[in-house]
């Protein structure tokens, strides 16, 4: 079934502007963009426009400069390449690459991008040298933090996702995720990095800009009905925490550029 784009947001390009993956790479300063051998030229052209608008939308939602999307030029974008059987999208820490499948990836960008961010920020938020570690996992494991006002705001995000309002007990999201894992006899949905990526998805989908190539499924999907996305008051608190962090990050980066 062919993907049908739903988008409501600002214009990022003129109607007749040609957009290829080269323009995507150059605007956001990706370390590389890799396209699978089975992706046709027509598919590339369509996907490049979707990616371009989705990533521009993400910068607007987060209120950050374009360079944040490529994590200061460290991130590789893969399309129709490097996928895993049955997996629509994934992030590969060893390659610092996030990949979307050709036909099954739409709606997964926000989730995979947050994995990349969560990985990138780890050694900037914690005194730790573990190349594959995510900051969300480091926070829950109580690794030694690096004291900084931005890190304190980031830790508020993790706290809102992983703990209840008191900060003493597991959150509703964790309890629901752990229950699904127990039923399946595995540990996946309750991993800190997975819960935080899904919470970030919810934050992005709740924004005033809408783009189902960027994110979808945090409200009406089967996963949402099972409680695998934040709900109610917890969702509100998480959204506020993410908004506070990224807005302050964006202001700090813009101020630093102007000096």
Q: Could you tell me which of 104, 121, 88, 253 has the C-alpha nearest to residue 196?
A: 121
Q: What is the value of pTM for the model shown?
A: 0.95
For position 213, what pLDDT does the model report?
95
pLDDT at 106: 87
| pLDDT of amino acid 84 | 55
- The reported pLDDT for the residue numbered 256 is 83
Residue 257 has what pLDDT?
76
Q: Tens-digit pLDDT profile for the chain (259 aa)?
A: 578 899 999 999 988 889 999 999 999 999 999 999 989 999 999 999 999 999 999 999 999 999 999 999 999 999 988 555 556 788 999 999 999 988 767 899 999 999 999 999 999 999 999 999 999 999 999 999 999 999 999 999 999 999 999 999 999 999 999 999 999 999 999 999 999 999 999 999 999 999 999 999 999 999 999 999 999 999 999 999 999 999 999 999 998 877 6
Q: What is the pLDDT of residue 164?
A: 96
pLDDT at position 201, please? Answer: 98
């Amino acid at each position: 079934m062919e993907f049908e784009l739903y988008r409501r947001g600002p214009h990022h390009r003129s109607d007749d502007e040609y957009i290829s993956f080269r323009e995507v790479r150059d605007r956001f300063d990706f370390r590389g963009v890799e396209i699978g051998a089975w992706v046709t030229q027509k598919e590339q052209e369509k996907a490049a426009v979707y990616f371009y608008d989705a990533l521009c939308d993400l910068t607007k939602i987060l209120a950050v400069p374009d360079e944040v999307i490529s994590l200061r030029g460290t991130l590789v974008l893969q399309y129709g390449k490097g996928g895993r059987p049955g997996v629509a999208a994934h992030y590969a820490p060893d390659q610092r690459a996030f990949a979307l499948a050709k036909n099954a990836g739409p709606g997964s960008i926000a989730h995979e991008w947050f994995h990349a961010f969560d990985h990138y920020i780890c050694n900037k938020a914690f005194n730790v040298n573990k190349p594959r570690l995510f900051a969300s996992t480091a926070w829950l494991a109580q690794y030694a933090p690096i004291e900084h006002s931005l890190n304190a705001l980031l830790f508020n995000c993790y706290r809102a996702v992983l703990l209840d309002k008191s900060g003493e007990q597991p959150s509703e999201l964790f309890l629901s995720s752990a229950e699904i894992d127990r039923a399946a006899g595995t540990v996946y949905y309750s991993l800190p990095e997975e819960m935080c990526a899904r919470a970030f998805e919810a934050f992005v989908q709740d924004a005033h800009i809408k783009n189902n190539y960027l994110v979808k499924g945090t409200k009406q999907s089967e996963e949402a009905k099972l409680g695998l996305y934040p709900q109610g008051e917890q969702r509100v608190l998480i959204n506020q925490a993410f908004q506070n962090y990224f807005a302050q990050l964006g202001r700090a980066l813009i101020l630093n550029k102007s000096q």
